[in-house]
Amino acid sequence: MQNLLTRFIDYVRIDTSPDESNSSSPSSLKQMHFARRLANELEEIGLSDVTLDGSGYVMATLPANTQSAGPVIGFIAHMDTSPDAPSENINPLIHKDYDGGDLALTADRSIILSPDDFPELARYKGQTIITTDGLTLLGADDKAGIAEIVTAAEHLLKNPALEHGTIRIAFTPDEEIGRGADNFKVKTFGADYAYTLDGGGIGELEYENFNAAAATVTVRGRSVHPGTAKGTMINSLMVAKELDSLLPSGERPEHTEGYEGFFHLYDIKGTVEETVMKYIIRDHDPVRFGERKKVMNDVAEEIRRKHRGAVVTVGLRDQYFNMKEIIEANYFIIEEAVNAYRKAGIEPVIKPVRGGTDGARLSYMGLPCPNLFTGGHNYHGRFEYIPLQSMEKAVEVIVNLCLSAIKPGK
């Protein structure tokens, strides 16, 4: 699996952060540069029908090497990394034979990855742990998924005695800003069903996800010299602060788990004259999801009534929906994954995604697409890490799925 490690380290060193302010696809030239590199690599290892379209989507085929009829299976991962943490000059650290204690991410030990803070880390004692250097994110979300898919395809190409049907591969841009499926051509991809490699720790298997919406709240106030402001100034910053306080304080990401939804204020910029707040709204249940969007509009209306001179606007945009009903109608896909996990010596941990994947939207576009683990933890920040052995198991699961495909609807 040295190729897997080398490939992953090479990938994460490449900055592929998206640009939410740019409406193009991909949203950043960095992603297109990486897409070209991936397309070249897929051709070099021997895949067929390698394409890179103008929107930054890479697709390729591993042709069938058996006459047995079977479905076309797809594997998908995204190229961009989270815009919520630094992603330039990523310097991954490799910790071999992890002793189960603290891992120093910086030379002065000012930043420590500790099982005291992240208890699941202790599970990987004796393994090789890949971490950040404490200054950036790592990018295992989703460079690990890409590395695992490419390595599995390479393994099958080098071992033609392993019989499999047609396999399709795709790498997408801009998943982290909710646009990963915007320009995905399902018919061109041509798979009967697919799996995203975009999950967390070893064993996770996910086919339920949040219903998701984005909200942009703009508060326009009135700027007046503070010396003569009495009765005339409307400080948009203070009005925005009051609006946020009306949302349920216990329904934020830091206070919720499992199937519990939330309101998440992730960006705020403002002056006395104007403040813009950006939220994401999440809930697994479609009814509660609708209620949350109503709450956002209701608190804005309350602020309008209280501060007559302020102009408050709310822009709501649905991002994706819970894929549960689509996957349950094609549940053999999950049964195949469970079998593939167990053949690799892994007991599946079926759990809801507290987030979303390209697979959620693709499922509603006609491509049922649950989510497999990559092995990573603590995504989107400086404490991100991934055990190499978990990545190896992800490769094994992909290979098992390719070898044991069944006909759709069996």
Q: How far is Cα 330 from Cα 410, in angstroms, rounded to an integer? A: 10
267 an active-site residue? no
Looking from the CA of 383 toward its CB, the CA atoms found within 13 Å total 14
Q: Is 208 left (phi over 0), alpha (psi -120 to 50) or beta?
A: beta
Helix axis angle, 332-343 to 388-403, nearest 10°: 130
Tell me the C-alpha to C-alpha distance, in Å, between residue 170 and each of 1, 47, 59, 62, 355: 22, 12, 4, 11, 21
Pair of tokens at residue 405: 């495909």
Tell me the C-alpha to C-alpha distance, in Å, between residue 70 and each of 299, 331, 358, 366: 53, 17, 24, 18
Distance of CA 242 to the CA centre of its chain: 32
175 an active-site residue? yes
15, 41, 80, 192: the active-site residue: 80
SS3 content of the chain, % helix, strand, coil (to 5): 35, 20, 45
Q: How far is Cα 12 from Cα 23, in angstroms, rounded to an integer? A: 24
Q: Render the burial of 194-205: b for 16+ CB within 10 Å, e for the rest.
A: bbbbbbbbbbbb
141, 142, 154, 175: the active-site residue: 175
Strand order in the sheet with 167-172: 48-52, 58-62, 167-172, 73-78, 193-197, 371-372, 204-206, 349-350
Q: How far is Cα 41 from Cα 47, in angstroms, rounded to an integer? A: 9
Q: Are 323 and 209 in contact (CB under 8 A)?
A: yes
- Phi/psi of residue 15, each to 5°? -75, 120
Q: How far is Cα 200 from Cα 165, in angstroms, rounded to an integer? A: 27
Catalytic sites, residue numbers: 80, 175
